[in-house]
Amino acid sequence: MKKQIRAAIIATIVTCIIIISSSFAMPAFAEDRGEFYPKLTVVISSVRIDSNLWVVDCRDKEGNIWSFFDDEGTWKQGDIINLLMWNMGENEKEDEIIEVYWEGYFDNLKMCYQIMNWR
């Protein structure tokens, strides 16, 4: 019985040491967005510029406009989309859109902005 208690205490101490040491090994940086990050946006326009090419403009919470090309014409005003962004440096406006994911749809953009508490 004493051996089991002693083994449990040692195992608990070793586990605590591992947890504490791993927290120092992997510090969190709040200001670092990492290499890739998501950005929730709402499509504000989709303009056909060629027979099979559209320019889609979308707006994020801060009011920034992000644009990407679409070759299928599937994006409509009011679509809620998540952009997978690639961090190109300190200036977010230079970041690139890597992927686009559909998240939902709002038929009233003004109400969408109010519900999401966007400017």
Q: What is the pLDDT of residues 41-89, one digit of tens each?
A: 999 999 999 999 999 999 999 889 999 999 999 999 999 999 999 998 8
Domain spans, the chain = 36-115
92-100 own/partner pairs: CB under 8 Å, 24+ apart: 92/33, 92/64, 93/64, 97/66, 97/68, 98/36, 100/68, 100/75
Does the pTM exceed 0.85? no
Q: Which two tokens stand for residue 113?
A: 């902005």
Q: Which two tokens stand for residue 49?
A: 């510029």
Beta strands in 1-111 (DSSP E): 36-50, 53-60, 65-70, 79-86, 96-105
> 36-115 is classed in which CATH architecture?
Beta Barrel (2.40)
Closest C-alpha among 99, 1, 89 to residue 41: 99
